[in-house]
Amino acid sequence: MYPEYLVAPMRAELTNAGFEELTTAEEVDQAIKSEGTVFVVVNSVCGCAAANARPAAKLAAANAKHPDKLVTVFAGMEKDAVDRARAFMMPFPPSSPAMALFKDGKLVHMIERHQIEGRPAQMIAENLVGAFEQYC
């Protein structure tokens, strides 16, 4: 677990952009199992989350066509919420940062850490926008 003062600005980067912070397994269940589309960002303290994942998520979420719900869980903090979100992302192995799009409770698009590292935020956002255009 990281000190809250350390992660607060990283949380705020997404919550200020309209993402809802999920902190319990029950909140994750309720969000992902809901009708419609849900975009989940597994946030983290790593450099690729700061330089690539969070900026890409914000860019994609600003697209005209976007998911019904934008949510985030924070790796290394609320373990139960993160574990539950990752369970929905199976068969993909746990990674952070990571991004997943669900439609009516089913995983329809996934971006893992290895697809985030070393890629510009704009490229990742374009991938996400393509998925949003297809599924939302």
Residues annotated as catalytic (active site), given as ranges: 46, 48
Pairing of strands 20-21, 37-43: unpaired
Residue of 108, 34, 106, 45 whose CA lies nearest to 71 = 34
Phi first, then psi, for residue 109 (nearest 5°) are: -155, 140
Of 108, 106, 1, 128, the closest CA to residue 59 belongs to 128
